[in-house]
Chain A
Amino acid sequence: MTHPSQQQNALRAVTDQPLPLVVERLDVGYRSGGSKRPTGTVRDVSFQVGRGETVSLVGQSGSGKSTIARAVAGLLPANGVVTGGRVSVAGHEVAGFSRKLWRPLRGTTLGFVPQDPLSSLDPLQRVGVQIAQAVQVAGETPRSEVPARVVELLEHVGIRQAATRVRAYPHELSGGQLQRVLIAIAIAAGPKLLIADEPTSALDVTVQRRILDLLDGLREELGLGILFITHDLALAQERSDAIVVLQDGDVRESGAAEDVLLTPKHPYTIRLLSDSPASSPLRYRERIRSAAEHLRTEQRGETTSTAAVVEVAQVSKRYGRDTQSPLALDGASLALRPRSIHALVGESGSGKSTLARIVAGLTSFDEGAVTVAGRGLPRENPVANPFARDLQLVYQNPLSAVDPRFTVRQIIEEPLRIHGVRSAAERRRRVATILDQVALPTSALGRRAREVSGGQRQRVALARTLILAPSVLVLDEPTSALDVSVQAQIVELLLDLRDEHALSYLFISHDLGLIRQIADEVTVLSSGRVVESGPASAALDHPQHEYTRELLDAVPRFDVARLDPSRFEAVG
């Protein structure tokens, strides 16, 4: 996808005004543990952002993209130092500026849109007051005109009824509206450069699209330069003119967005692209198809196994006693066929997590029936889960779902202890087997969960649930906290495990790209109702319901047709 404005932008960049941002051979390091010499985190990074241009910094966690953003904005933590190179923001050489030198530049030359809108506003002050503070920083607006300017700014960022909304407190606004308020604050003093640090990672896809459209509009209208930080390659491709790919603090590849992503040269970029579900939707197609065919031929022999392993029929749920409050689930139904992957899709508040927890026996429900492996689930659950050997839930955040005092061995062993495997030798043997299956090194056994990496933690969580040999796993966004490459490994592991143990997955995710890769069936939830259900290919390629279409349109997508698939084969 080419931005119509791209060529104009290139022209604008040639004008005699200083560029919003020039970074040249930048080195940043952090001092730690009392040592005088800072250890380099970012090395020799150069790029520039022109007027009306968006440049994306792309990379995984630990790649240094946030460090660069902070160095450019003068927001490095106390132990961070720029050790070399130059940073020029709208003509001001700011590398090595003290806080005092920075003060007159804040707001007027550079605005910052933070990652988490919920925690970035003062909860005790009305949003109007907080915007007014930013307006006054510029010092150009007379005191009497500040309120009018605040309303004007809110209207500018697309908040309806701005005149009354200025009196709202942050908790009265939605996540998307809060992000709009933060953008209003960032542009209040007329900056030349906007730094957006994953501005939409906490938002739903449809809201994400509207926020990004807003940023694009402001960029063109005000001639802003935008430095956009993201881990989402599809988003970077869709929204930026140039891309800088970072790995471990080094620039791996940089250039026009088209060139970098459609004809990647560096192996790291190629790997990122092949691991990202959005850019390689067909990655697992052969596997999924052969597994499905394998199943079909098997089922022709024995007709009994076609019965669903999990059946949800007309389940309703309301939180609290108030009968006026909206239903969290309103007559939702789904059927999980054996050995299939059934994806549950929806925005936050759609009830997908509630449904997952009901199936897992963690939340009670008001009406309907849930059957797991042929047995009906009680509406009110006993404290100890009687279905533990049939169905297990894999939590979104593995770190919080395990006892911080336990070692990995104790964590994996726990289900065996609970279910009365008394012999230590027997437990040891089964832990060793399962460890091998989830590809964890034996050396991890003695460590605690916080001492192993994010991907390994999710493997530990999987090992713990699989040691009881359940037939169904409910996976609640199991990869949402992981980098794409790690996510690809975990997804691969999940597919292996399914084939090996004949598992069925109820897979909750907001990542439609990932669902397109692996799901056999999809159920789309909106405000507690099932709006679409059916085979993944049909639901995602020819959505019937308007909501599904809206959801799909909002997802940043690669122009897959123009990608050369043979390029990825070398890596696979």
Chain B
Amino acid sequence: MSIRLQQDRDIISSSAEPGAIGRLVARLGVADVLAIVVVGLVLLSVVAPGVLAPFDPLEPDDANALAAPSAAHWFGTDSLGRDLLSRVIHGTGRTLLGSVVAVFIGLGVGTILGLVAATFGGIVDAVISRIVDVLLSIPGLLLAMVVVVALGFGTLNSAIAVGISSIAAFTRIMRSEVLTVKDLPFVEASHHLGGSRAYVLARHIFPNSYSAVLSLTALQFGLAMIWISSLSFLGYGAPPPDPEWGLLVSEGRQYVVSSPWLVVVPGLVIAATVLSISRLSQLTRERTAA
């Protein structure tokens, strides 16, 4: 199975299809289509890595150690002769799961804090906002490292650390959105119809302020992936021999002169995935705005 072929087939099949989907695709640019294809492949490797991967990611093959990319090993092999493509594919789930956990924490806690701060105002708002200021003033990755050192190393802990360091951004956005929405006439109108504070918050303020936060989510997802990979690269994340993406780059570092693909290929995969997700988030934002 080849990535290039898969892409071509995707493009051909969707553009040849008449009707609504065909028209939708016709309006998309090349970059949009590529982004959709990359995200599709990433999702497929999360769901069924065994189907895509040509080899066992943990099976060493001494005869083929540090082989350059070839027809048999598309991404080459590492120092133990393990197929890099298979390792990348099998590592997808772990890396993405970490990002999902991180975003979930950031989104959940940040949204609630922002909503509370904007709704109650006064001293509650002041306290929350100052904490957020402090969090924002520390570089995110540094904060994540501090947290992960406190929690102990590991995939889940590094995800939690990244999640905590992204809370501030979500709180900020949610707070400002709620502040805008809660003074709009329709909110007052709903209170005037007899709606209680909780009802109006749940039915009107929250849904109307959430779209901006959701589009930040997709952006933050890519960022979380980079941070988690960075933490793994620095040795705070998943322990070897797990094929986590950041760890792959880290392991390849020793051979960067003789076998550069060990660093370059996983790095490109991370970059492509992050770019595709952010492209997709822009696309959905344009859709919802239109």
A residues neighboring B (CB under 8 Å): 360-362, 383-386, 388-389, 392-393, 395, 397, 400-405, 414-415, 418-419, 464-465, 468
Contact = CB atoms under 8 A, between A and B. Distances in A.
Contact of B192 (A388, A397, A402): A388
A158 B194 CA distance: 50
B208 A415 contact: no
A400 B193 contact: no
Contacts of A384: 191, 194-197, 199
A400 B184 contact: yes
Interface in B180-232: 184-186, 188-197, 199, 203-204, 207-208
B156 to A, nearest CB: 36
A362 B192 contact: yes
A401 B189 contact: yes
A418 B193 contact: yes
Nearest to B187: A403
Nearest to B188: A362
A392 B194 CA distance: 10
B178 to A, nearest CB: 15
Interface string B105-149: 000000000000000000000000000000000000000000000
A400 B186 contact: yes
Contacts, number: 64
Contacts of A383: 191, 196-197
B185 A395 contact: yes
A397 B191 contact: no
Given A400-B185, A401-B185, A464 B193 contact: yes
Contact of B208 (A362, A386, A401, A403): A403
A431 to B, nearest CB: 15
A404 B185 CA distance: 11
Contact of B189 (A395, A405, A468): A395
Contacts of A404: 186, 208
A402 B186 CA distance: 5
A384 B184 CA distance: 16
Residue of B185, B193, B207 with most chain A CB atoms under a 10 A cut-off: B193
B186 A360 contact: no
A393 B191 contact: no
Interface string B146-180: 00000000000000000000000000000000000
A403 B186 CA distance: 6
27 contacts: A361-B192, A362-B188, A362-B192, A383-B197, A384-B195, A384-B196, A384-B199, A385-B191, A385-B194, A388-B193, A388-B194, A389-B194, A392-B192, A393-B189, A395-B189, A397-B185, A400-B184, A401-B189, A402-B186, A402-B189, A403-B190, A403-B207, A403-B208, A404-B186, A404-B208, A414-B195, A415-B193
Residue of A360, A400, A401 with most chain B CB atoms under a 10 A cut-off: A401
Please provide the 6 A-B residue pairs with the shortest distance between their CB atoms, ordered closest to farther.
A388-B194, A384-B196, A401-B189, A400-B185, A415-B193, A401-B185
Contacts of B184: 400
